[in-house]
A and B are shown apart, each in its own frame.
Chain A
């Protein structure tokens, strides 16, 4: 059975998620920040973490953006194969939803039309849309505003199968070390590992959607996440880079099948404003 969904419904949901994601920090992130306040050894680091939590409370209370960088509107869309969208273009509806959400929510418009000419499009479009076609007749949508400061510190590298888990860990730690204070630590580190570069990069971003602190179900991956997190926190960068034991709140690694010749790792860095909001249609 084909299920029809009018694209205006998608537009309305995208509008609502744009605002919600930017005003309300998810509970899993708040929980991780509060836990870090208890464990942080640096007095300055503790104070900074306290102010970050206080900032999130002000944003929720006053209904204003947690951070002025309300991001590129990154959208993960899972579309059931029995869905038929009616009433117009799906992509146009999504962009219209972003445009209305960013306008009505008093969010900053940060997108430019061209990477070199850099004229602001004025409505934060285009959205960055990633679509998966899945079984079923539902649409699952996650909107994750992504700020520029942390995105700029992200990286991908081709390793060799011989480099293995240690090689990936070393690359991730190097990337975080080089980023230093720039990406607004404490960060969440998304890692994608596979054998084609676009898959690794996409998985590194998807890894950021996982609730903070939920380990990967595969034991060796969960162990790699834990040991990489420890190595990152031993860098001493700390909250806002002012020195401390909390440089990252979590490392999330998403592995994928790999070609016999390849091991490609991508690291996507997320600032402490790890924002996302989701809906099912």
Chain B
């Protein structure tokens, strides 16, 4: 039986997640990628309120395709997380507890994940059609003018992820490679 998690993430749930573990997410997650992160951090720097309360929430690094009529969203797979690294400590500082993306995080981000007791989750890059099927509802909640880079509130069901970095700072990318390198 696969483990299920939902937002807002509690400390107990977060601590139970281990790098390499398969999970499914049900409930609300928010999207955000390069341009939205830039704006969010600029807003924090000015001391102004954020458009979304990220306490205990998960952000999904994705810029979806437009929805066809009758569908909530178009293809929606993860983008490369490393580009958000410079913004991540600030996001964790305002209460963000989970991130979904693909690819390695910097040593500083892994350290920050440990410090704030958060997790980094991996979705399959390039599986945008498959992942879109797990999205039941999508609405723009901030920065609509950014188009695909706007912040969407997504309601997801059975959204599959693998724990990439857990609250202890264990990193699946480091462990996974060792076994198959020759």
The residue that B102 contacts in the complex, of A42, A66, A240, with Cβ under 8 A, is: A240
B165 at the interface (CB under 8 A from A): no
The residue that B127 contacts in the complex, of A44, A55, A62, with Cβ under 8 A, is: A55
Give min CB distance, B147 to chain A, whole Å: 5
Give min CB distance, B125 to chain A, whole Å: 4
Q: Which of B62, B65, B146, B172 has its CB near the most chain A CB atoms (within 10 A)? A: B65
Evaluate contact between B178 and A55: CB separation under 8 angstroms: no
A122 at the interface (CB under 8 A from B): yes
B47 at the interface (CB under 8 A from A): no
A64 at the interface (CB under 8 A from B): yes
Chain B 39-75 near chain A by CB (<8 Å), digits 1 or 0: 0000000000000000000000011111110000011
**Known contacts A44-B176, A68-B77, A234 near B124 by CB under 8 Å:** no
A-B contact count (CB 8 A): 155
Q: Which residues from B are CB-within-8-Å of A70?
A: 65, 75
**Known contacts A108-B63, A180-B103, A182-B104, A68 near B76 by CB under 8 Å:** yes
Q: Which residues from A are CB-within-8-Å of B149?
A: 120
A194 at the interface (CB under 8 A from B): no
Q: Which residues from B are CB-within-8-Å of A180?
A: 103-104, 173
Give min CB distance, B20 to chain A, whole Å: 8
Interface of A is mostly: loop
B177 at the interface (CB under 8 A from A): yes
Give min CB distance, B14 to chain A, whole Å: 21
**Known contacts A67-B75, A120-B147, A108 near B66 by CB under 8 Å:** yes
Chain B 138-182 near chain A by CB (<8 Å), digits 1 or 0: 000000001111000000000000100000000011011111111
Number of interface residues of B (CB under 8 A): 43
Evaluate contact between A64 and B65: CB separation under 8 angstroms: yes
Evaluate contact between A238 and B177: CB separation under 8 angstroms: yes
The residue that A65 contacts in the complex, of B75, B122, B133, B175, with Cβ under 8 A, is: B75
Q: Which residues from A are CB-within-8-Å of B88?
A: none
Evaluate contact between A184 and B180: CB separation under 8 angstroms: no
B80 at the interface (CB under 8 A from A): yes
**Known contacts A67-B128, A272-B126, A236 near B179 by CB under 8 Å:** yes
Evaluate contact between A106 and B128: CB separation under 8 angstroms: no
A109 at the interface (CB under 8 A from B): yes
Evaluate contact between B177 and A237: CB separation under 8 angstroms: yes
Inter-chain pairs besides A59-B75, A59-B129, A108-B65, 4 sampled, C-beta below 8 Å: A58-B129, A106-B66, A182-B102, A235-B181
